[in-house]
Structures are given as structure tokens and as C-alpha cells.
């Protein structure tokens, strides 16, 4: 608010701001007038430091004592105060404080102050609302115009424009924006050119030969100090620039990664695989597997060769009215060659071949599996005739469920059923499926029209193992002592993948030992490694444990040797392999397609020979846990004889199926029946154990010789055991100990 001095009497006085007097006298910058602003508005500029002497005198005459004390704070010099006082007294005559008037005005305000309210409003309001910095108080209350400075703060606004220019400023068109951008670029170029010129001048100045080295150094220091003073944040500008560069590069890399993931045809990024999927087409020239490389599965190979022949020569079959089968399901244990057969089809069919795995159709997004199936078959239809191979089809073709937890779980298999044999027929698209869990497949998938042919790929028999071993042994250098027949008989139950692994492990071991060729020793060692795990370097240092192991394994070998229906002995060793401390191996003389009751009982007797030997030699209190695996196998064999194979007279010829697939297992057997079954299993195991003990009691001397030979040589083959038990010449030290 302004500090005003009020007049007393009939004669009016000017309301004058004391702060303006202080600013003018003290020469303050805030009180100066903007002469250019006055000239812009067409007014004559006056000196901002000129004070109206008459007004100043009037103000001084009506100042109170406290106001004079405030005026003393203005730090006026004595000469300024004397000049102002004298000039004011000489210019304006003295007016008395009181003035008597005999004429009355219309209002009390006019009688008291000497002017009306309208005159006051007309003289004061223009001063308050004017836009200039210098005001002229023209009022009938004063004898001359009063010029003073008045500071007004306001917001910066654009000057008022009308017409086309205002429209351009509010909504510039494309041309105006382009011109503005071009002008800005020109300014930036000029700025860069100016900075270049300044840098060149600085280099010239610093390289002036007329300056001494000390002067040049001072000049450099002065420039550096000036630069730092101009840019106080220069100390952190380097870190800030590095951070900005790293942030920009990270953003660019992220954008490029997203673009390549979405649109990259060759890369197949994760986003593309989730949203778009992949179609794995295999060209026939990229496959180096043919039907000649498939051994041991002649029946399955014959079925697939017929399909390949149909693809190569369809007229041969269609002339008789035959149709191409829509699907072939390959069923068999793991490692029997199902995928190898599919690769052979891809290598010999000479048609487009598409392959996919069952788990590839499952994604986190609902509906992705069904869309993958549609995309796969739509691509295959465009390339018909062709072959589509789905490995591990049980992942996508499992039985449909009614679970409320997975309401969309059946979409993928329903789409697969529709594509294979739906309303629209797929002409020329053959589906190959491979699984080792046929029972888990949906029944609708197994019906004719979808999988017309079901091919069993079993474990190879003796002839098949010979063919497979001959195939893989032909790829390595073998020694002359390798017996293909012995090796095939000693690998009963091995799949094609197991036989390939045996040959490969033997070749690696021979290469490590720097052997000239792969001998029979390496092949048998590799077979034992596949069966029981890698052997330890030597027997355990505990002699008591070695003695127990020797009698235990000797008991197995001795019972097997004297049991008529048992499998022939192949090798016995006390070198630890895997979890076992010893091992006794058997090799059947021929391939068995069925097992008799006598053979099963002899096998049980052989398994019981280890525990019976421990009890007879060391006593019932010294038996060990080493027979746990033997007892488990014997119990399983006796249980199957009673419950599945009908080999018990008391239980009879009936089977008892146990379904443990459900969460709740219900015993459907009557209590009496369960007791009879348990009694029969116990009887078979007890009788087998007693027969094994009887054999060992009869041949205690041979048992002791066999155990001592195992402690000495660690490993004995079938010939060594036969010579020892026949009482002939001492055993020759063979290569097994090496």
C-alpha cells in the first residue's frame, strides 16, 4: 500500500507516495523511469531523478514528526537536502495551514477537502491503470504537472495482433513450421560457425609467438577459470553426457531387439514364437538318414517304406482304388528308433517334410496351441503332398479332461482332431506320430481316418541287435577278438540307442588308452558301464567289506552254476560299480520269447544266493543290506507269478489288476483273498531261499575257493569259474584285472 499524506483544511493537497520520494532522491534503480517506454507511447521523457519542488515542499509541510524520522533514513546528503529545500521555498509561495472560505459547496467532502470525489477519481485512477512506467499527474489540485516514476510488475504477454498474423501465430501451417525449423537450423549453423571462429581465434592467440611461455600459460589458466565460471556444472557435464549416451544406446538396442523379435524371419525371437509361431520345414537334401541306416525294426520300416512308395508313385495305388493313409502312429519304448524312422522318411520321400514336437503347441496364452495346429496344417496343405511329423504326440493328444481348473485344455486336441479328419478333408497330408505312452492318447485320435496304421517299434531281438551292432561297429576300427554273437547275447533288452552308446563309449575308452583298435574288453566294459554305471578305480580298502562282497557275489555265481534252468554265467566281479559293491552278469544262450515257471524259480534262487551266502558264512547276525536290490527283484517276480501269471495253486488262474493312477487307491480284494495272496508270495520266497541255502551248503568248498579267487583276481569270467569248480589247473590271470 502507498503511504499517503492527508491535508487538513479547505485547501486540497496531493496524495503523494513517500516511497517515490525516497527512490528519486536516493537514485534507486527501482524508481527510475523507462524513457524508451515513454517514447514508444509518444510521451516526452523527463529526467527520472527530477523532483517537483512544489510538491516536495507541500509534502514536507504536512509531514508529522514520525514521517520526518522516516525521511531521515533516506541517506540524503546535506547538499541534496539543502538544494531541495531552497528550491522548493523559492518556487512555491508559502500557504497557511488554515484557510477560511465563506462559500459553501454542495457536499461536506468538497467543503472539507476543497475538491469533489469525481475530481479525485479522475486524477488518481489513470495513474493506477496506466501501462507506462512514467505517469503525469494532471489534476486541478496542483499548479503544475507532476511527473513521477511508478513501478508496475506484470506478466509477459504477446502484443495484441489481429488479422492473418494472429491466425498464423495460433495455428501455423506446414509451410510456416518448415520455415521456422529452417530458421532455427540456420541459427544453429551460425552459432556453430561463431563458436568455430572463436575457437580458431583462441588457438591463434595461444600460439602467438610474441607471447612468452609464461604469458601463454596465464592465458590458458584465465580461459579455464572463465569457462568454469561460465559453466559451474562443467564438473559433472562429462558424467551427464556419458549417462545420456548410455541411455540413448540402451533405448535404441531395446527398440531394435523388439523389431527383430517381431519381424525377424530367420531369428525367430521369443515374441515372434509366442504370437506368430514357427513352421519347421525340413528339406530332403538336408537329411542324411535313409532306410538303410534303420536296423532291427524291419516291420516298422516296411510300413513306412510303403507310404514313401505311395508318395513317389501315387498312380500305382490309386489305379486300384486305394487311398493314401492319413496317419501312421509309431509306438514303442524310448530309444527304439521312432524318430530315426521319421528322419528316414524325410530323407527318402522327396516331398516337403514338416516336423513339430508336442510340447511346442503349449504356450502361456490361451488358444495358442490351437492356432499353432491350424498354422501347421494350413502350411502343409499349401505344399501337399507332404508329411507332418509330430514327436511326443501324447503331449498334445492326451485324453480330454472335464476339469474346471483347465476349461481351455481341450482346445488343442480338438483342433488336431478336426485338422486330421474333420468336415474338410486333407488330401495329400500324411501325419506321422511318435509316442511311448499310447494308453494316454485320446480314443478319438486312434480311430481309423486319423491314425489308420499303428506300427509297433519294439526292443530289438537277437537278430536285430546283431544288425545294429554291425552297423555301428562298421563305423569304428575293431580288433579281431570282437565276437558279435557274444556281444549281442550279452545285451539283452538293449535298445538301438543303448547299443550305439556302448560302441561309442568303447571307442572313447580305447582312444584314451591309445589302443590301436576297439577290442572286446572295451566293448564289455562299456556294456557294464551302461548297465551299472562307471566302475571305480579299485576295490574299497576295507578288507572285511571286500570279504563279505566276495562271498556274496560267489553265492550268486555258485547257485547260478548249479541251477539247471538259470541263465548261463558270464562274469562276476567285486569291483564297485555305481551303488553296488559287486556284480554278477548272466548271458542267455538264446533269445527267449516266453519265460517258464522253472526259469522264474531258478532266477529267484540265484537272487537269493547272495543273502544265503552271508548267513551261512558270517551268521544271521552279520547279514548286510547289500541284498536289498536282490530281495526287491525276487519279491516283484513272486508277486507277478501269483497275481498276474496265475502260477499259484491256492490262488488259482486269475489276475488281480492294481490301478495306482488315481489319487485314491481302493483295495477291491476281499480280506481272505489278500491273506491267501500274501501267504503264497511268502511261500515262494521262503522256498527259493531254502533251495539257495541247500546248494551253498552242499558246495561249501567250491564257495570258499570262488571267494578267494575273487579277492585275488577281482574279476572272473565264465571259463575261469568253470575251471575253478571242476578242480582243474589253476586259473590263468586274464586281462580283467587290468
Spell out the alpha helix ranges (H) of 172-212. 174-206
Q: Kind of pairing, strands 569-573 and 353-357?
A: unpaired
| The length of the chain, given as a count of residues | 738
CB neighbourhood size of 673 (10 A)? 13
Distance from the first to the final alpha carbon of the chain: 115
Looking at the DSSP bridge assignments, the partners of residue 434 are: 330, 391
Q: Rounded to 5 degrees, what are φ and ψ at 433?
A: -120, 145
Q: What is the largest CA-CA distance in the chain?
A: 172
CA distance linking residue 487 with residue 313, whole number of Å = 41
Alpha-carbon 178 to chain mean position: 46
**Rounded distance, CA 463 to CA 482, Å?**
17
DSSP string of 634-695?
Answer: HHHHHHHHHHTS---TTT-S--------SSS----S-HHHHHHHHHHHHHHHHHHHHHHHHH
DSSP per position, 121-141: HHHHHHHHH--SSEEEE--TT
Please provide the DSSP assignment of 235-274 as one string.
HHHHHHHHHHHHHHHHHHHHHHHHHHHHH-TTT--HHHHH
Q: Report CA torsion sign: 529, 533, 534, 539.
A: negative
Cis peptide preceding 597, ω within 30 of 0:
no
Where are the alpha helices (H) located in 32-107, listed in sequence order? 35-40, 53-61, 65-71, 78-91
Q: What is d(CA 31, CA 25) in angstroms, rounded to the nearest whole number? A: 10
Specify which residues 398 forms β-bridges with.
441
Assess whether 543 carries a catalytic annotation: no
How many degrees, rounded to 5, is the angle at CA 498 between CA 497 and CA 501?
90
Give the whole-angstrom CA distance, residue 545 versus residue 302.
54
Instruction: Give the CA count within 13 Å in the CB-facing half-sphere of 284.
Output: 13
- Torsion angles phi and psi, residue 335, rounded to 5: 85, 10
Place of cell 530309444: 335
Q: Which of 553, 614, 615, 702 is catalytic?
A: 553
Separation CA 112–CA 202 (nearest Å): 75
Other beta carbons less than 10 A from residue 710's beta carbon:
28
SS3 call for 8: coil
Task: Round to whole Å and give the CA distance between 325 and 464.
Answer: 28
Alpha-carbon distance of 333 to 331, in angstroms, equals 7
Q: 277's torsion region: left (phi>0), alpha (psi -120 to 50) or beta?
A: left
Distance CA 95, CA 194 (A): 67
Beta-sheet strands, E only, within 288-398 = 327-331, 353-357, 386-391
| Contacts of 40 by beta carbon, 8 Å cutoff, 6+ apart | none
- Beta-strand runs (E) in 380-487: 386-391, 429-435, 453-456
- The residues assigned a catalytic role are 553
Amino acid at each position: 500500500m502507498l503511504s499517503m499524506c492527508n491535508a487538513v483544511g479547505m485547501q486540497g493537497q496531493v496524495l503523494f507516495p513517500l516511497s517515490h520520494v525516497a527512490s528519486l532522491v536516493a537514485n534507486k534503480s527501482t524508481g527510475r523511469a523507462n524513457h524508451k517506454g515513454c517514447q514508444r507511447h509518444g510521451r516526452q521523457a523527463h529526467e527520472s531523478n527530477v523532483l517537483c519542488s512544489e510538491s516536495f515542499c507541500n509534502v514536507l509541510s504536512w509531514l508529522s514528526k514520525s514521517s520526518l524520522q522516516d525521511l531521515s533514513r533516506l541517506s540524503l546528503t546535506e547538499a541534496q537536502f539543502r538544494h531541495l529545500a531552497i528550491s522548493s521555498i523559492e518556487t512555491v509561495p508559502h500557504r497557511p495551514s488554515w484557510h477560511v472560505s465563506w462559500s459553501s459547496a454542495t457536499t461536506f467532502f468538497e467543503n472539507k477537502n476543497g475538491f469533489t470525489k469525481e475530481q479525485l477519481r479522475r486524477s488518481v485512477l489513470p495513474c493506477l491503470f496506466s501501462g507506462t512506467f512514467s505517469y503525469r499527474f494532471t489534476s486541478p489540485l496542483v499548479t503544475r504537472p507532476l511527473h513521477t516514476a511508478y513501478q508496475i510488475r506484470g506478466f509477459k504477454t504477446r502484443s495484441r495482433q489481429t488479422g492473418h498474423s494472429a491466425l498464423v501465430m495460433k495455428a501455423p501451417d506446414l509451410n510456416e513450421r518448415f520455415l521456422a525449423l529452417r530458421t532455427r537450423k540456420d541459427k544453429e549453423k551460425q552459432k556453430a560457425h561463431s563458436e568455430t571462429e572463436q575457437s580458431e581465434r583462441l588457438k591463434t592467440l595461444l600460439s602467438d609467438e610474441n607471447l612468452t611461455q609464461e604469458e601463454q600459460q596465464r592465458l590458458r589458466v584465465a580461459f579455464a577459470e572463465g569457462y568454469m565460471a561460465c559453466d559451474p556444472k562443467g564438473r559433472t557435464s562429462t558424467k551427464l553426457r556419458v549417462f545420456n549416451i548410455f541411455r540413448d544406446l540402451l533405448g535404441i538396442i531395446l527398440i531394435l531387439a523388439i523389431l527383430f523379435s517381431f519381424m525377424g524371419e530367420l531369428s525367430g525371437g521369443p515374441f515372434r514364437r509366442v504370437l506368430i509361431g514357427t513352421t519347421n520345414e525340413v528339406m530332403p537334401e538336408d537329411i542324411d538318414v535313409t532306410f538303410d541306416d534303420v536296423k532291427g525294426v524291419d516291420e516298422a520300416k516296411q510300413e513306412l517304406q510303403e507310404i514313401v512308395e505311395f508318395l513317389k508313385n501315387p498312380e500305382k495305388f490309386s489305379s486300384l482304388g486305394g487311398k493314401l493313409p492319413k496317419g501312421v502312429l509309431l509306438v514303442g519304448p524310448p530309444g527304439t528308433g521312432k524318430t530315426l524312422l521319421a528322419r528316414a522318411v524325410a530323407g527318402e520321400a522327396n516331398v516337403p517334410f514338416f516336423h513339430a514336437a508336442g510340447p511346442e503347441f503349449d504356450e502361456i496364452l490361451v488358444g495358442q496351441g490351437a492356432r499353432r495346429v491350424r498354422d501347421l496344417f494350413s502350411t502343409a496343405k499349401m505344399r501337399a503332398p507332404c508329411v507332418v511329423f509330430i514327436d511326443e504326440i501324447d503331449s498334445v493328444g492326451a485324453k480330454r479332461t472335464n476339469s474346471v481348473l483347465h476349461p481351455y485344455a481341450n482346445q488343442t486336441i480338438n483342433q488336431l482332431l478336426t485338422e486330421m479328419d474333420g468336415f474338410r478333408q486333407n488330401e495329400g497330408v500324411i501325419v506321422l506320430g511318435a509316442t511311448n505312452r499310447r494308453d494316454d492318447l485320446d480314443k478319438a485320435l486312434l480311430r481309423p481316418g486319423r491314425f489308420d496304421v499303428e506300427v509297433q517299434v519294439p526292443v530289438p531281438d537277437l537278430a536285430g541287435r546283431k544288425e545294429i551292432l554291425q552297423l555301428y561297429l562298421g563305423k569304428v576300427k575293431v580288433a579281431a577278438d570282437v565276437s558279435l554273437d557274444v556281444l549281442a547275447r550279452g545285451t539283452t533288452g538293449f535298445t538301438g540307442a543303448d547299443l550305439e552308446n556302448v560302441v561309442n563309449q568303447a571307442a572313447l575308452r580305447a582312444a584314451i588308452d591309445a589302443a590301436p583298435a576297439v577290442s572286446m574288453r572295451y566293448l564289455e566294459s562299456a556294456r557294464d558301464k551302461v548297465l551299472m554305471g562307471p566302475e571305480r578305480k579299485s576295490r574299497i580298502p576295507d578288507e572285511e567289506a571286500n570279504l563279505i562282497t566276495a562271498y556274496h557275489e560267489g553265492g550268486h555265481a555258485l547257485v547260478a552254476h548249479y541251477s539247471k534252468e538259470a541263465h548261463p554265467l558270464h562274469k562276476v566281479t567285486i569291483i564297485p560299480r555305481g551303488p553296488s559293491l559287486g556284480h554278477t552278469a548272466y548271458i542267455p544262450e538264446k533269445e527267449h520269447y516266453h519265460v517258464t515257471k522253472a526259469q522264474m524259480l531258478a532266477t529267484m534262487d540265484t537272487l537269493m544266493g547272495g543273502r544265503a551266502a552271508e548267513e551261512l558264512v558270517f551268521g544271521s547276525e552279520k547279514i548286510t543290506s547289500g541284498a536289498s536290490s536282490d530281495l526287491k527283484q525276487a519279491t516283484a517276480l513272486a508277486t507277478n507269478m501269483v497275481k498276474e501269471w496265475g502260477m499259484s495253486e491256492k490262488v488259482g488262474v486269475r489276475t488281480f489288476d492294481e490301478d495306482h493312477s488315481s489319487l485314491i487307491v481302493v483295495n477291491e480284494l476281499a480280506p481272505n483273498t489278500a491273506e491267501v495272496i500274501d501267504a503264497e508270495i511268502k511261500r515262494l520266497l521262503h522256498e527259493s531261499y531254502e533251495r539257495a541255502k541247500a546248494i551253498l551248503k552242499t558246495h561249501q568248498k567250491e564257495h570258499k575257493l570262488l571267494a578267494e579267487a575273487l579277492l585275488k583276481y577281482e574279476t572272473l569270467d565264465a571259463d575261469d569259474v568253470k575251471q575253478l569248480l571242476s578242480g582243474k589247473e589253476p586259473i590263468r590271470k586274464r586281462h580283467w584285472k587290468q
